[in-house]
Structure 1
Amino acid sequence: MSMQLDKVFAPGERFIGVVTPSGNTVVERVTMAILRAFNGVTPLFSRTPVFGESDPYPESYAVDEMLTAAHLLAHAKPDVMLWNGSKGAKIGVQHDRDYVQRVQDQTGIRTTTSILALDDLLRSRGLMRVAIVSPYDSAYQQGLVEAYREAGYEVIAERHRALKDNISFASIPADAIAGMVREAAAHKPDAVLTLCTNFPAATVIPAIEAETGIPMFDSVSIGVWHALRMAGIDTSPARAWGQVFAQ
């Protein structure tokens, strides 16, 4: 017990600051679970209002609120900051790039987002034929597919759950998620993307990735992966969360 207590405050501890939507119950759990593989790396969380069924900013971010959340995290001087939300996949990654630039300019702390990490990874590896799996309703999912096509990707398959309320996304059973992922993977895309950071797919996709040989990237875990890399931390101890961590 004493050895475990001694590890609570490790010398030279590293911090990753994470901004997450307020209606989200998945990001913190997945982030903490991944970081258990790393000694002396601790997540710090801040929230910004995103909840319910309606979005007052359907084509943009509530930037001032997101910046406030980032500034609160900056008080603790994390090594890296991460916006772990997936809206940029629908409204365009330039919104994420603009947010990152403003946070870095105002705080001096290196910053990334889950969707920037995903987009950069897919393009760098030439994985342009994708399948998209999400919990969203049909209208939002269609907008998501169209946004990826406009960004130059070929979306060859999609599966969605047709839910609207943010909190309900986190309640989808693992076997239902696995079924959607396997159906999408049957179309042989270059990669399967599980999009929505309140969608509990991160624990499901590693086994299916190994089973099918198709790269699979979850919007929550990919953000954590990129934040670790930006902090100069070897991600291989978390290889159980997907092949991307081992590379």
Structure 2
Amino acid sequence: MKRVLLGMLTPSSNTALEPLTSAMLSGLPEVSAHFGRFRVTEISLQPQALGQFDMAPILEAARLLADAHVDVIAWNGTSSGWLGFEADVALCQLIEQETGVRCCTSVLALNEIMEKTQRKRFGLVTPYLDDVQAAIVANYARSGFECVAERHLNRSVNFSFSEVEPTQIVQMAHEAAEARPQCLTTFCTNLRAAQLAPALEAALGLPVYDTVSTAVWKSLRLCGVDTRRVKGWGSVFDGEMA
């Protein structure tokens, strides 16, 4: 059986996405995930925080992943939510030009799913600061999506996002769902949220798209792997977009 190697660009202080990604892939013996880090410690709109997402360090991490002959490189992060989606488009183009490896991102994959399923009224759950959350909502509005409800924790230290208890994420999701969105997204790859999707979908009666899951979903699709083989992680893998 031919191996499928997924490269994942990872914020340096993220401790959630690696175990979540590996768990999602545990039932696919030929697929493995490989991680390359670059420094990200703070999420805010301050210059020093925005500068963490300059292309140079991300591209260097991508080059190192390419040394492992990965089949795809995914930016498993949500920075284009506040930087603008064009930042992810440009990043993918640059990585593909520099490495020859196909590239995708959590956010562009999420947008693809919401676009193709015509679920443009969404609920947004994040740990981010007020102004970061507002920037995300505004970016989506400019692209024709309507955030009908949101919950956020007003935090900026990236490591702290992984310490948010899943019970709190569930509460935030239920509160956002009261506005009857067409779907809900847990929008941060350092939240321990992806595993909550099946139970939330059953309780709320709507799709829940986690941004770690969307990165894995798109990576598998680019590699020709049937996403329906990923069991127990929600409708993103076995629903309309399978």
Shift of 1:212: 2.0
Of 42, 55, 59 in structure 2, the residue corresponding to residue 63 of structure 1 is: 55
C-alpha contact 2:42 2:49 (8 A) present in aligned 1:
no
In structure 1, what is the Cα distance between the partners aligned to 2:231 and 2:178? 24
Taking only aligned residues, the RMSD between alpha carbons, in angstroms, comes to: 1.5
- Give runs of aligned pairs for residues 1-247 of structure 1, distance below 5 A: 11-52=1-42, 56=48, 58=50, 61-246=53-238, 247=242
In structure 2, what is the Cα distance between the partners aligned to 1:60 and 1:146? 21
**Residues paired across the two proteins, number:** 237
Q: What do residues 11-42 of structure 1 show as CA deviations (whole Å, max 9, x unaligned)? A: 52210011111010111011101010211111
Long gaps (5+) in structure 1? 1-10
Deviates more, 1:65-74 or 1:158-167: 158-167
Q: What do residues 62-81 of structure 1 show as CA deviations (whole Å, max 9, x unaligned)? A: 10000000000001111111
In structure 2, what is the Cα distance between the partners aligned to 1:102 and 1:143? 24
Which residue identity lines up with residue 120 of structure 2 in the other structure? M
Which residue identity lines up with residue 241 of structure 1 in the other structure? W
C-alpha contact 2:72 2:222 (8 A) present in aligned 1:
yes
Shift of 1:201: 1.1
Which residue identity lines up with residue 104 of structure 1 in the other structure? E
In structure 2, what is the Cα distance between the partners aligned to 1:157 and 1:185? 7
C-alpha contact 1:90 1:148 (8 A) present in aligned 2:
no
